[in-house]
Every structure is written in structure tokens, then in C-alpha cells.
Amino acid sequence: MNSLADKTVRFERAVRRSEEEIHVHLNGLQLKDPHLLDMGWNSFFANHFLELDDPRLVPARVVEESRGIYRVRRAREEYAAKIAGKIRYLAQARKDFPAVGDWVAIAPHDESQSRIECILPRKTKLSRKVAGRELNEQIVAANVDNVFVVSSLNREFNLRRIERYLTLVWDSGAAPVVLLNKTDLCADAAAQASAVGSIAPGIPVLLLSVLQEAGVESVRNHISRGQTAAFVGSSGVGKSTIINALLGATSLRVQPVREDDDRGRHTTTSRQMIFLPGGGIVIDTPGMRELQLWDSEEGLSRAFEDIAALAENCKFRDCGHNGEPGCAVEAAIQEGQLGSERLENHRKLQAELRFQQRKADSELARQEKERWKKIHKAMRHKHRN
């Protein structure tokens, strides 16, 4: 009995060892390529790629997308890429299509063309609701490590808008960093940085002026080799200008803001990935004039942790912080520990998410009703025949 048991154990160990050797061999082909590593490739993506078990496919990353046209980058080449018909057929929403930052499996056709056969699972994704009334998710960038929330220190500066951006970033799974640009236009930039710090505890807040070449190095220190960072913010805050400074060249087109209201002009019109000299990757995104949350309950909790902590001491567990007795949140406002504007913005974002959820539920119900109508119609047609 013991001899049989020992043989069984040895056999199982040999099988596991063989599987591990095969996995390391196949995995190592991808992981040891320094070009792929510099593009953000790691074991998370390699393991998912191995599961495809298709020798025709190679890994690549989506570096640009504009109206359904893609460019992808392999270890040493870039291709124009189309999506395979099966991706289009199985897609139920925008999120099912490739986004900038995605790792994909491609089948190269020739030196300049390829076809995207599969989108690898995303480690992180920065999403918002699409502009307008349509209820759909738009992925701004995928597989990012850091997200720079850029605001300029002129009339564009708005703490409530920064809170909204931070909610999106926390929900993405990436780490937020706040960049306060154009310090040359602000009489007391340190005070503004302190105000941001009060609503973003623990989040790095960096001051910079690209015009005066100040603070750019501190931004670069947050983008390590093989890491991906996205820049988000309103038009005209200087995202493309900052990226040009990181590149040490004027690669991205920039425009001055309007003098009458400090509003920006849309310069970046498509999302694109840029590889920095010395390592690191950045994603430039178009300015967002309409920024609506998408399924951001977790992000809201992270962005407003101070309110959640205060609410733990409220007399009632379901306290709405709106006149209830024993409300610790309202007491903190009266004592000057919490700004009333911050609580009001929290309520506004909560209401937006609840409305979106109700709308999503009704849309799902409508889709289910339509599905059953089609089924019943097909059954009636079958019985008639």
C-alpha cells in the first residue's frame, strides 16, 4: 500500500513539475523579452495569453484608437489592426471592443497589417459613462498603473471637479496623482495644493509649471520603466504640454487657452500611447467637458473615505446626513472639520450613481422583454410551419 501511495505521489509531483517547466518555458519566451517588459508585459498577461494555446497568435498592445481604427505594437513592430469578426459578433457593448492600453492577441498578416483575435483580461480600466443620454461604458484607458489628474491653477481650478476625477480613478484600480499645472499663473500655489490635500488625503499632489520648467522631474519620478500612466483633465489644463516636456520634444500638438475664460480648446482628438525615453509609458486623452461616473460605488467610497469614517459615529446606521439627530457628519461640518461643499458633492455623486443604476435596471428589463418577444415569435412561426 505504501509503495503504491509513494508511486502515486511521485507521479503527481512529476506531472506538476513537467507542467511547471512547460509553463516557465512558454512564459519565459514572453517575459524575458525586454521590449515587451518595457511595454508593461508581466505574468498577469502572460498567463492569460498562454491559456489561448494558439501558436499563430502573438501578444501586442493597443497604442492608438480612433473611431474603430487601431494601431498595435509588438515587441519590435507596429501594425495597423482590424478586429476579428468574432469580437464584433460577440460584443454587447463598447467595453467589449479594444481600448488604448489593452493587451491583445494578434494574427499578423504582413509587415504592416494584423488582426486582433482576442482581448486579454484587463488588470485595471479607467471608465466613464459615454457623453449624452446613451447608457453605456466608455473605457478611457486600460491597464494603467497611475492616473495623473491634471488641473490648472487659473479659473479652471475646481475642487469639486477634482473629487469627481478621483472617484473615477479610485474605481479603476490605478493609483491617482494630482498635478496642479501653471503655478506661474497663481499667487499662492501652495495654498491651492493644501486645499487639494484636504480632499485627497494620502494622494500625491504635485505642483508644476512647464512654462518655467519647474516640477517636471517630480512627474517623471512617478513613471517607472514598464509602468503606464494616463493623463486626464479638462481641455486646456496642459496634459499634452506636460507629456511633451517628459519627452523632451514637441511631439504632441498644443494650443493656448481662450483668453476670455481660460477654457481650453480640444487639441488631442484621439487616445494614444507614448513611450518615454528612458522607460515608462503615458496615455494622452482628449479633454473631458462632460464627465459622468460609471458603476463607481467603490471609487466613491475611496474618494470620500473621510465622510464614511465620520458616518460610522452617526446615531442611525442609515443616516442621510440631512437633519437627523446624532449625525456625526453634520456635527463635523459645524465644527469646521468638514466642508459643507464636500458633503453636497458627495450627495450629488451618490444620486447620479443611483439614477444610473435605476436606468440600467430598466434597460436590462427592456432588453429581456425584447429577447422573450423574439423567442415567442420564433416559436409561433415554428408551430405554423
Q: Could you read off the pLDDT of 305-359 as tens digits, one per residue? A: 889 899 999 989 888 888 889 999 999 999 999 998 999 888 888 888 777 777 6
Q: How far is CA 287 from CA 182, 194, 267, 341, 385, in A?
A: 17, 25, 8, 25, 57
CA distance 288 to 177: 18
Query: What is the chain's length?
Result: 385
Closest CA to 148 of 176, 182, 181, 189: 176
Are 81 and 106 contacting, i.e. CB atoms less than 8 angstroms apart? yes
Cell of 138: 466608455
Q: pLDDT tens for residues 66-105?
A: 877 899 998 778 888 889 888 888 888 888 999 999 999 9
Residue 187, φ and ψ in degrees, nearest 5: -75, -30
What's the pLDDT score for residue 362? 60
What's the pLDDT score for residue 350? 82
Q: What residues pair up with 128 in beta bridges, in sequence order?
A: 138
Domains of the chain and any CATH numbers: 2-119 (2.40.50.140), 143-284 (3.40.50), 304-366 (1.10.40.50)
What's the pLDDT score for residue 146? 94
What's the pLDDT score for residue 376? 67
Packing angle between helix 159-172 and helix 340-384, nearest 10 degrees?
Answer: 50
What's the pLDDT score for residue 360? 63
Residue 10, φ and ψ in degrees, nearest 5: -65, -40
Are 305 and 201 contacting, i.e. CB atoms less than 8 angstroms apart? yes
Q: What residues pair up with 181 in beta bridges, in sequence order?
A: 152, 208
Closest CA to 62 of 106, 31, 25, 18: 106
What's the pLDDT score for residue 197? 92
What's the pLDDT score for residue 14? 47
CA distance 74 to 106: 9
Residue 370, φ and ψ in degrees, nearest 5: -65, -40
Q: How far is CA 110 from CA 58, 71, 84, 154, in A?
A: 13, 14, 16, 50
CA distance 177 to 147: 6
Are 131 and 102 contacting, i.e. CB atoms less than 8 angstroms apart? no
SS (H, E, C) the chain: CHHHHHHHHHHHHHHHHHHHHHHHHHHHHHHCCHHHHHCCCCHHHHHHHHHHCCCCCEEEEEEEEECCEEEEECCCCEEEEEECHHHHHHCCCHHHCCCCCCEEEEEECCCCEEEEEEECCCCCEEEEECCCCCCCEEEEEECCCEEEEEEECCCCCCHHHHHHHHHHHHHHCCEEEEEEECHHHCCCHHHHHHHHHHHCCCCCEEEEECCCCECHHHHHCCCCCCCEEEEECCCCCCHHHHHHHHHCCCCCCCCCCCCCCCCCCCCCCCEEEEECCCCCEEEECCCCCCCECCCCHHHHHHHCHHHHHHHCCCCCCCCCCCCCCCCHHHHHHHCCCCCHHHHHHHHHHHHHHHHHHHHHHHHHHHHHHHHHHHHHHHHHHHHHC
Residues in the chain predicted with pLDDT less than 70, given as ranges, are: 1-32, 130-136, 249-270, 287-292, 294-296, 359-385
